[in-house]
Structure formats: structure tokens, C-alpha cells
Amino acid sequence: MSDIHADLHARPVSAAQPAFHDPVVQFIAAAWFGAFVVPVVALLVVGFEPVAIAVSLAAYLGAATLSVGLMRRGYPHPTMGLCNVTTLARLVLTAALVAPVMAPFGEWAVLIVAVPALGLDGIDGWLAHRQGRVSDFGARFDVEVDAAFALVLALNAWATGAAGVAVLILALPRYAFMALAGRWTWLARPLPQRFSRKAVCVLQIGTLIGLQVPGLPDPIATTSVFVAAGALCWSFGRDVLWLWHARR
């Protein structure tokens, strides 16, 4: 929490403009509220498990602090917008789902939290266009929350035995891509918009949520994982090839 507090004081605010009218200040205020919601949701999922709840909160605070830093680099709109509030709400639910990775939970608990988180995905983009709040920050924030959501769901599926270690393949492509982009800068260039990329993302998240269904037969779980993994490999492979040909 101290990092977020320090970030708030580090950003200069015009004397002519009330502090809360600054979009970064609005984001920090919303993030503080989320810091109180995360442990409540985690408590409802796993019960009184202090260590698991603390790890969930720590994960949220780390992600929120990084998001504030990203927003400070450049956000072109005068207010935070409901689109970013929605994405932040998805981050809250994602962080709360870290707790069941570490502690026992009710059979349907993860699914009950994951389904609303999935429902919010897509609403933030619609709101951004509706309110005129489209930004590079919002797009990056959305993608990173999607990646974190996939990682947490995959870890839950693996921890409960709903799927084998192969399920982690569904969580790693984004992070592997970022690691490679740090080595080869041509991978960091902007990609063209493709509906198929969004469809594969929906398949990825939908599969991971399906794996949270209690009693899912092993053949269905295994087949689902490999179908989604194949779609991800195809999508990322096509993007890498496009970037390779466009590197000059």
C-alpha cells in the first residue's frame, strides 16, 4: 500500500484543478478501495486462511502499483473512465482467486468468482469506445489482466488436480512472448487488430473456467486443454511470423 501512497504524492497536481479530477489520482483511489475488497472476496472463497488471503492482497497491491506506474507514463483523457474501473474490478476478482491456489475451498467457489470476471471482459472495451476513453494504457491494462486471469485459473486447475501440468501451457504464452520481446525488439512492435486473436483468447479463458467445474471427466479436461493450447500456438505463431516479416 505504501507504494501506491507514495505514487499519489509523487505526481504534481495543478493548483487550479482539484486533485481528484486527475485520472491517476482517481485510479489510485479506486485501487485503494479494491484493496479492501480483495480480502473480503478471498475470505468468501477459502474461509479464514490468513496466509492465502495475505498473498492475494499482496498480488493485488503489486499489480495495482505497476498499473499506476503504467498510467503515469501517459494517459490522454481527463478522467479515469468506467472502462478502467471495470478492468480494475476484474483485477480485484483475479487477485482474490490467488487464495484458493494455496488453500482448500468449496467445490463451486472459484467458478462463482471466475464467471463474473469473464462477464466483465469485453464490457471495459465497449465502455472505452462509448465514453471516448480509448487509450494505449487501457488496452495494455486489459491485456495484462487477461493474462493474469489465465495464469491464476491455470494454477487453480493444476492445484486441484482438475488438469495436469499441461494446463500451464494455457497461462504462459503471453509471458513467454514478453520475455522474448525483451531479447528481440522486433517482437515488441504493434500488431494489427484481428478478431481471431480475440476469439482464441475467449477460448483460452473459457476452457480454463470450464476446468473449474467440479467432477469434470478427465478425457474432457485433457481434450479441452490440448485444443485450447493448439489454438494459442497457432495464434501466437502467426503473430510472430507477421512481426518477423515486418521487422525491417
The structure's pTM equals 0.87
Q: Going by C-beta distance under 8 Å and a sequence separation of 6 or more, which residues neighbour residue 82?
A: 127, 131, 133
User: Can you say how many angstroms the Cα of residue 217 is from the centroid of all Cα atoms in its chain?
Assistant: 28
Q: Hey, where are the domains in the chain?
A: 2-245
CATH code of the region 2-245: 1.20.120
Of 150, 141, 93, the C-alpha closest to 117 is: 93
pLDDT per residue over 96-132, tens digit each?
A: 999 999 998 888 999 999 999 999 988 988 999 999 9
Q: Going by C-beta distance under 8 Å and a sequence separation of 6 or more, which residues neighbour residue 39?
A: 53, 56, 57
pLDDT per residue over 27-53, tens digit each?
A: 999 999 999 999 999 999 999 999 999
